Amino acid sequence: MYSKPMSRPVRLLFTILMVLLVGASLTTPALSSAARPGPAPTSGEKPTIVLVHGAFADSSGWSDVAGQLTRQGFPVVAFSNPLRGPSSDAESLRLFLSTIEGPVVLVGHSYGGVVITNAATGDPDVKALVYIAAYAPDEGESVAAANALGGGHAEVTDHLVVRPYPGAPEGDGDAYIDNAWFHRLFAQDLPASTARFMALSQRPGALSALVLPSAAPAWREIPSWYMVAKRDRIIPPEAERAMAARAGATTVEVDSSHVPMMSRPTAVTSLILQAVRAS
């Protein structure tokens, strides 16, 4: 087949491009940096702080805390929790952590505490667990069972709306907090306008996640810190204290709703930094 000869300007451009491409092939590794392990961390490297949200919320709730931590030079990532169940969510987090080089501090809020409790077991890179008004279940314990610790009552269970999702097992579905109750139960110390949008945009969790058993807890082998929210209406404060004591966690209490990372972000940041320094 006849091909038209290139004009002189086109040949010149083609030659320049070939030189650039050949030069790049001599200096660029075969795999991109995103596909290769990073350099080995030095002993003085700051840990990556991984923030894990719970049900009825998303990673945006960590905004103020993440900002305070990054301004102090810490690498921070917020994990998008699938909210399908302790086993599968923990496996998702384990795979996520496998992409991070160096030491890690895991921070979980609410049901996110279940996920970090399961995902960190046996991971030598996880140096500390921080529970922010979160579940810290024992082996074989469900969220529903943990709510009963200390004799409290999880008021939120009386105000759930369950909607179907594709592929849900029979009897399961996505659980939401009734919008009319969201401000009172989830975030009563935040402005009504903020809570209203949180209700409208909430991330549901599978209803079955409330009753599925947890596996061997990482808090048996990894030091832990716990923030009790004294005005929590999602997890009874009595249950939070019981879980913190059982885990042997360094514990603080704040006058907060279920979302201290939003209403008391400086206190939350301070507890995370305490865990970082100690570990």
- Structure tokens, 275: 């865990």
Residues 193-223 have pLDDT tens digits of: 999 999 999 999 999 999 999 999 999 999 9
- Please determine, for residue 15, whether its predicted confidence score (pLDDT) is greater than 70: no
pLDDT tens, position by position, 87-137: 999 999 999 999 999 999 999 999 999 999 999 999 999 999 999 999 999
The answer to whether residue 5 scores a pLDDT higher than 70 is no
pLDDT of 192 above 90: yes
Angle at the Cα of 108 from the Cα atoms of 161 and 116, rounded to 5 degrees: 100
Q: What is the distance between the terminal CA atoms of the chain, rounded to a whole angstrom? A: 70
Domain 48-278's class? Answer: alpha beta
At position 189, the amino acid (one-letter code) is D
Mean pLDDT of the chain: 87
Give residues with Cβ within 8 angstroms of 42, minimum separation 6.
none
pLDDT band at 41 (very low <50, low <70, confident <90, very high): very low
